[in-house]
Chains A and B, each alone.
Chain A
Amino acid sequence: MFPGSFPVGVRKPCKWVNLKNTSITTMPVKAIKTISSARNGVGAFILQCKRLDFHYCNFGGSSRGMLSFLTKDLAAFAREHPQIEIRVSPRPAKHPVIKGHYINGHEKAICVRNLEPSEIMKKTNILKEANGEKLKRTKKPVTSLNESVRGIWSPYHGDLRGV
Chain B
Amino acid sequence: MKRLQLQRWSSTALSPRVRTNNRLHQQLYSTGLRLQSTVSPLQSESAISENVEDASFQNPDAMRHIRRAHKRKTQLQYPSPPVEAATQSAKLAALHARLYLPSRLPLQTLARTLVDASADSNVDFNNESLATLGHDLLANYTSEHLICTYPRLPLSVTFAAMYAYVGPKTLAAISKEWGIDNATVPGGEVDPGFLQFQRVAPGTAVEDISQLKSARPYADQKNWRMTVSSKIFYDDEFGDAIKGSVALGQGVTDETARATFVRAVLGAIYLHAGRPAAKRFFEQHILSRHLNISELFNFSQPARDLARLCARENFEAPVAKIVSETGRKSRSPVFVVGIFSGQDKLGEGSGSSLMEARERAALSALKGWYLYTPINPRVPSSMEEEGAAPWKPAHIDLGELLPTEDG
| A-to-B contact residues, CB < 8 Å | 1-2, 4-10, 23-40, 42-44, 46-47, 50-51, 82-87, 103, 145-147, 154-157
Given known contacts A4-B321, A9-B308, A103-B179, is B407 in contact with A43 (CB within 8 Å)?
A: no
Contact A26 B306 (CB under 8 A): no
Q: Give the shortest distance, in Å, between A36 (CB) and chain B (any CB).
A: 4
How far does the alpha carbon of A60 sit from the alpha carbon of B188 in the complex, in Å?
39
Cross-chain contact A34 with B289 (CB below 8 angstroms)? no
Determine the distance from Cα of A36 to Cα of B283 in the docked complex, in whole angstroms. Answer: 14
Contacts of A47 in B (CB 8 A): 98
CA of A11 to CA of B404 in the docked complex: distance in angstroms?
16
Residue among B161, B299, B322 making CB contact with A5, cutoff 8 Å: B322
Q: Quick check: A35 and B406 within 8 Å, CB to CB? A: no
Question: Which residues of chain A come closer than 8 Å to B178, judged between CB atoms?
Answer: 46, 103
Q: Knowing A36-B291, A38-B173, A38-B289 touch, does A24 contact B406 (C-beta < 8 A)?
A: yes
Q: Which of B9-17, B30-38, B152-160 faces chain A?
A: B152-160
The answer to whether B288 touches A42, judged by C-beta atoms less than 8 angstroms apart, is yes
Stretch touching chain A among B52-60, B72-80, B86-94, B131-139: B86-94
Cα-based distance from A7 to B337 in the complex (angstroms): 12
Question: Which of B39-47, B206-214, B312-320, B382-390 forms contacts with chain A?
Answer: B312-320
- For B283, the closest partner residue in chain A by CB is A43
- Is there an interface contact between B297 and A34, defined as CB atoms closer than 8 Å? no
Q: Which one, B99, B296, B307, B334, contacts A8 given CB within 8 A?
A: B307
**Which residue of the partner chain, among B174, B296, B301, contacts A27 with CB atoms under 8 Å?**
B301
8 shortest interchain CB distances as A-B pairs? A43-B288, A9-B307, A24-B407, A31-B160, A82-B97, A43-B284, A36-B289, A83-B98
Q: How far is the CB of A83 from chain B (nearest CB, A)?
A: 4
B100 touching A9, Cβ below 8 Å: no
With A6-B358, A38-B290 already in contact, 7 other A-B pairs whose C-beta atoms are closer than 8 Å: A7-B320, A32-B295, A32-B297, A35-B169, A84-B94, A156-B325, A156-B334
Q: Specify which chain A residues have a CB less than 8 angstroms from the CB of B403 in the assembled complex.
A: 25-28
Residues on the B chain within 8 Å of A87, using CB: 90
> Which parts of B364-407 form the interface with A (CB within 8 Å)?
370, 400-407
Question: B405 to A46, Cβ gap below 8 A?
Answer: no
Q: Indicate whether B253 reaches chain A with its CB closer than 8 angstroms.
A: no
On chain A, the residues within 8 Å of B320 by CB distance are 5-8
Please judge, given known A-B contacts A29-B400, A85-B91, whether A5 and B324 are in contact too, CB under 8 Å: no
CA distance A46 to B317 in the complex (A): 52
Known A7-B319, A8-B318, A9-B303: A29·B298 in contact at CB below 8 Å: yes
Q: Is B250 an interface residue (CB 8 A)?
A: no
Say yes or no: B308 contacts A31, CB within 8 Å.
no
**CB-based contact B157/A29 at 8 Å:** yes
A31-B298, A35-B169, A35-B173 known; A25+B404 contact, CB < 8 A: yes
Residue of A nearest to B89 (CB): A85
- Residue of A23, A25, A32, A146 near B296 (CB, 8 A) is A32
Chain B residues closer than 8 Å to A4, beta-carbon distance: 321-322
Q: What residues on B are CB-neighbors of A145 within 8 Å?
A: 290, 292
Bound form: Cα–Cα A44–B287 in Å = 10
Q: Which of B97, B167, B317, B322 contacts A35 (CB 8 A)?
A: B167
Residues of chain B contacted by A29 (CB below 8 angstroms): 154, 156-157, 297-299, 305, 370, 400
Chain A residues in 8 Å Cβ range of B299: 29-30
Report the separation of the CA atoms of residues A24 and B304 in the bound assembly, to the nearest whole angstrom.
11
16 A-B contact pairs sorted by A residue (CB < 8 Å): A1-B319, A7-B317, A7-B318, A8-B319, A9-B362, A10-B307, A23-B407, A24-B406, A30-B156, A32-B297, A42-B290, A46-B179, A85-B94, A103-B179, A156-B324, A156-B325
Please name the residue on chain A nearest to B294 by beta carbon. Answer: A147
Q: Are A83 and B94 in contact (CB under 8 A)?
A: yes
Given the known A-B contacts A36-B170, A44-B285, are A9 and B291 also in contact in the complex, defined by CB atoms under 8 Å?
no
* Interface: B50 (CB within 8 A): no
Which A residue's beta carbon lies closest to that of B176?
A103
Q: Which residue of A lies closest to B365 (CB)?
A: A8
B339 at the interface (CB under 8 A from A): yes
> Are B362 and A156 closer than 8 Å at their CB atoms?
no
Contact present for A5 and B400 (CB under 8 Å) = no
Residues of A within 8 A of B287 (CB): 43
B92 to A, closest residue via Cβ: A85
Chain A hits for B322, CB < 8 A: 4-5
Q: Is the CB of A43 within 8 A of B298?
A: no
User: Any chain A CB within 8 A of the CB of B336?
Assistant: yes
Q: Which of B163, B179, B362, B402 has the most CB of A within 10 A?
A: B179
B197 CB–A CB distance under 8 Å = no
